[in-house]
Structure 1
Amino acid sequence: MNINDNMKIGLITAFSVIALFVLSLLITQAPASDDNAVRFGVLTLLPPLVAIILAFITKETILSLFIGVFVGEFMVSVNNLNIIESAINAFLALGSQVIGCMADPWNAGIVLQCLLIGGIIQLVTKMGGAKALADALAKRADTPKKAQLITWFLGLCVFFDDYANSLIVGPIMRPVMDKLKVSRQKLAFVVDATAAPVAGIAIISTWIGLEISLIAEGFKSIGMNVSGFGIFLQTIPFRFYNILILIFIVISALTLYEFGPMKKAEQEARKRKDSEPVKALEAPGFDEVQPVEGIKLSIWNAIIPIGTLIIGALIAFYWSGYTIILGGEDQALIAIMKSSPLSFNGIFTALSQSDASVALFQAALLASIVAIVMAVLQKIMSVEQAIAEWVGGMKTIVITGVILLLAWSLGGVIGEVGTANYLVGILKDTIPFWILPTLIFVLGALISFATGTSYGTMSILMPLTIPLAWAVSPDMGFVVTCTSGVLTGAIFGDHCSPISDTTILSSMGTSCNHIDHVQTQIYYAIFVAIIAIVFGYIPAGFGVPWYFCIPVGVIVMYIGLRVLGEKVEFEETA
């Protein structure tokens, strides 16, 4: 360690001590209150802001998340100006917070399914299935334009879950995109933009149970007993951001126009020589894994395990919901399961009640067994080798698990300090009716960006939005528009946030540096969100029909891309 390093450590330590002392002083002088949102005031924004700003400055996601969690726990632990005591209590609370997140059944299921899918991807790669599938896709996707459109289409196909989308589509399309000199950043954007935006509006997905239950409960609070699913369907045309971001991918792919940091990333990727390997982006991934030497490549070594994962997930979703309903007390749902379990209504009802994290884990476990058996029966690997490769694939995902745990912990401590309640409190008052859908969209985006969770944002805002919208204008169409603002704003903020789990998984699945992914994607997300507001939610607040808003938004989006962007040419090789 040289003198400069010692000086840096000394300066950082001194600055940290001073900052913690000032923070302690501000907290101890604040009026006492049982509500932390009132007690801390604007300081409630500190934990997410510290994590987000540090992530952009240092490009160290784990360190930034850790410090963000620590700052939040420190705030909760402060009782006096003894910063040493507060810091020790904060560190102990941080450990309990992380363990609590890991002990949560939903979180544990997500981490385990990620590990298992990592093992499947490695087995598929070693069996040559990934290369065979990439070669087959490359025959059709022989230009960046076609490759991006195929990636977009695959993202639509894996509609049922955003996590599964990120972990399946990214590894399949990465070698194709690399061969065609499309940047990892662009691939990560397409994967991320077809994850939550698709799952959030799909009528069969792991999201729908939460969405329709929140809608139904919100209407109950104003004395209306409505079908949550029926209202959900009515919100789909008003999900302007979801719809426009999916159309934006197609326009960008067809025109090859890019702007902002994404343009630079694409230009650098195009300049790469065929013999030159893809620039290392310091991201976890499967780049170094190669098929077993001398084996015959077959696309079935990819299609069967991945198909098992997808089909198995849908079956597991149904069975999970079916058993949960029959074990519950809702007689109306039980009657549906007993009378017509395989009707559209029965299937939809079961899927909407399923435990997605358990179902995906079960599907991933089944697909893992299928992949191992295929490797052994084809004599590509022995049982011991296949299991070793499966475990090796899990190791690649471990860093993602660490990031997810810290992101969830940050979400937990943000809840403790009252960040979301503070944001709602300062933004909800004194508003004209026509701006309410836009305000709700923006508020949802801010909360989701700061907390990294769209689920949590929906859960916070929906109970407030429906009564507020009804009080402002007792018109069902207006309330539906405001409801869509909650669901869509949460997805937009989550899409931009560097501490979002889906953003993290998209980076991992495409082997793209996480902060590079965030920095290139955020320009496109904000561009589309502005159009969604100006040509979607503001006109809709005045009662303009969606079938007018969306076409106008698409036209403006196309013109904006042509004005702001520049075509990144591709030289086709013989």
Structure 2
Amino acid sequence: MKLNRSMKLGLIVAISIIALFVLSLLISQAPAGSDNSVRFGILTLLPPLVAIGLAFITKETVLSLFVGVFVGEFMLCVNDLNIVSTAVNAFLQMGSQIIACMADPWNAGIILQCLLIGGIIQLVTKMGGAKALADAFAKRADTPRKAQLFTWILGLCVFFDDYANSLIVGPIMRPVMDKLKVSREKLAFVVDATAAPVAGIAIISTWIGLEISLIAAGFKSVGVTNVTGFGIFLQTIPYRFYNIFILIFIVISSLTLYEFGPMKKAEQAARQRKDDEEIIVPEAPGFDEVKPVDGIKLSVWNAIIPIGTLIIGALIAFYWSGYTTILGGEDQALITLMKTSPLSFNGIFQALSASDASVALFQAALLASIVAIVMAVCEKILTVEDAISEWIGGMKTIVITGVILLLAWSLGGVIGDIGTADYLVGVLKNTLPQFIVPALIFVLGALISFATGTAYGTMSILMPLAIPLAWAVSTGDMGFTIVCTSGVLTGAIFGDHCSPISDTTILSSMGTSCNHIDHVRTQIYYAVFVACVAIFIGYIPAGIGMPWYICIPVGIIVMFIGLRLLGEKVDFEEVEA
């Protein structure tokens, strides 16, 4: 056995050295220039493909991301065929890249708020609030259908941020789903599919500021100044076919209990589980081992108050962050609005649009943490020392998520440096028939987002290219350009939804205590199915001129028929039989 392992290790090392040498040879022969997308060509796809491929093969997310980042840094450091010096330089650059990602204020805020929310969840669990809330939900959500629909409704309620959605809804609904023998994979899918797709179309969310600013800048670049970014944003909502269809697909799947692909196998295995059988999910960070303190009286308020503080505090923090940002800025119209009508709909909207989501969520999570600790001490459930210890223990559960996020961001940074997105845009934006352009933009957004793991970055890259392209091929048709604009926004979310290196996908796995690769593997079949409906029933007909109020009903019917044809019902009666 030792010999076999040694031989395997030696073979892997030998193949790796040969691959790095070939890579160095290909890059060193390419003409050096400022545009890495031209210099590397198709090799720009290598780092994300390596990371994604290894993730599926090895099911080791950290290792896969690490190798992907290293390959990207290696490509950037190639000057000659000396792979030893190149590898050393790549390793050093990799360290700098990870530190730079950690030093970024947005990234640091996201990691800190994730850690704090982890501490809150553990405190709520120890106080019995999570179990009381799960028991209360279980009385109403007493079937797999109701439980999945209840999770969907909760996901819609936490509309303001996709990160908060994943970290709040998953831990609350996991005990209910486990009791009703719904798989962790299906729970992770419902949570993930109600995170970014909801936040992306909500008129009050942490996404809208970026979206409307990109839209406004894109239309300004083609000389259209008589429209507002928010006005165009509202007009794109009916054409957000993927967002709308994925939310409706959850309802159809929940009501019919039809599943297909790996999700069907996961659901069948969950239904066949014995009532007293312990659920063991390998490589799944979560809060499964945490139990309420013995002998305490269970109360839903021990969950509602801390989590309510988090949600309400986040909305207030969003508003205050944007309010102070506007007053400290130079836009006199917005400053006047904040001084005269700060609580009007437009005032609240502008404040939320200008807010720093990572800072606001951290502030809200810190406040909710203090509230949870005070409640635990005042109710004599925990001492001050024990409450703080449990709070820190919850943070430890999230550490692996922080590591994965840092590596995912580092991979995104390397991918940006080598020009992956620019290469994809250059290859796919060739002259095409006008009606196919919205679908092409959707696919292009999906590819960039899948490869980079970020919807925000994809929107920022593609929007300045998509709006001028749509405006040019349609000779200034506003309706057609709006459809193409929605293609950018939804394509980015679809790719992010499928990508194993996406932060929201990672957080959904963590929040539901589901193995990350199992979540990606089961979800991707459903996401691709819905995306195909969005393309062929949504964006291609809309590119021809078909109105959205025809596309959406037809798309719903096609999804229902497709699910019945592809899927199989997974129900209690069939399992018992």
TM-score > 0.5, shorter chain as reference: yes
Structure 1 residue 441: Cα displacement: 0.1
Distance in 2 of aligned mates of 1:2 and 1:286: 36
Structure 1 residue 558: Cα displacement: 0.1
Distance in 2 of aligned mates of 1:136 and 1:486: 41
Counterpart residue number, 1:181: 181
Asked whether 1:197 is paired with 2:191, we answer no
Counterpart residue number, 2:552: 550
Distance in 2 of aligned mates of 1:321 and 1:529: 34
Asked whether 1:478 is paired with 2:480, we answer yes
Counting only pairs closer than 5 Å after superposition, residues 396-407 of structure 1 correspond to structure 2 as: 396-407=397-408
Kept after mapping to 2: 8 A contact 1:531/1:557: yes
Kept after mapping to 1: 8 A contact 2:509/2:519: yes
Question: How many percent of aligned residue pairs carry the same amino acid?
Answer: 83
Kept after mapping to 2: 8 A contact 1:281/1:511: no
Query: What residue identity is the alignment partner of 2:157?
Result: C
Kept after mapping to 1: 8 A contact 2:281/2:513: no
Structure 1 residue 520: Cα displacement: 0.1
Asked whether 1:76 is paired with 2:82, we answer no
Structure 1 residue 281: Cα displacement: 3.1
Query: What residue identity is the alignment partner of 2:466?
Result: T
Counterpart residue number, 1:465: 466
Unpaired stretches in structure 1, ≥5 consecutive residues: none
Structure 1 residue 279: Cα displacement: 3.0
Counterpart residue number, 1:442: 443
Show CA shifts across 1:351-393 (max 9, x none). Answer: 0000000000000000000000000000000000000000000
Kept after mapping to 2: 8 A contact 1:411/1:453: yes
Distance in 2 of aligned mates of 1:77 and 1:282: 33
Distance in 1 of aligned mates of 2:142 and 2:387: 33
Counterpart residue number, 1:564: 566
Counterpart residue number, 1:327: 328
Show CA shifts across 1:469-526 (max 9, x none). Answer: 1111111100000000000000000000000000000000000000000000000000
Show CA shifts across 1:75-118 (max 9, x none). Answer: 00000000000000000000000000000000000000000000
Counterpart residue number, 2:543: 541
Normalised by the length of structure 2, the TM-score is 0.99
Counterpart residue number, 1:43: 43
Counterpart residue number, 2:365: 364
Distance in 2 of aligned mates of 1:3 and 1:381: 53
Query: What residue identity is the alignment partner of 1:568?
Result: V
Structure 1 residue 237: Cα displacement: 0.1
Distance in 1 of aligned mates of 2:318 and 2:281: 37
Structure 1 residue 336: Cα displacement: 1.1
Distance in 2 of aligned mates of 1:330 and 1:38: 40
Query: What residue identity is the alignment partner of 1:395?
Result: K
Structure 1 residue 32: Cα displacement: 1.9
Counting only pairs closer than 5 Å after superposition, residues 103-252 of structure 1 correspond to structure 2 as: 103-225=103-225, 226-252=227-253
Structure 1 residue 229: Cα displacement: 0.3
Structure 1 residue 339: Cα displacement: 1.2
**C-alpha RMSD of the superposition:** 0.9
Counterpart residue number, 2:396: 395
Show CA shifts across 1:298-328 (max 9, x none). Answer: 0000000000000000000000000000001
Kept after mapping to 1: 8 A contact 2:322/2:352: yes
Distance in 2 of aligned mates of 1:550 and 1:470: 24
Structure 1 residue 332: Cα displacement: 1.5
Distance in 2 of aligned mates of 1:7 and 1:114: 42
Kept after mapping to 1: 8 A contact 2:111/2:402: yes
Distance in 1 of aligned mates of 2:276 and 2:306: 31
Kept after mapping to 2: 8 A contact 1:145/1:253: yes
Counterpart residue number, 2:280: 279
Asked whether 1:489 is paired with 2:524, we answer no
Counterpart residue number, 1:59: 59
Query: What residue identity is the alignment partner of 1:427?
Result: L
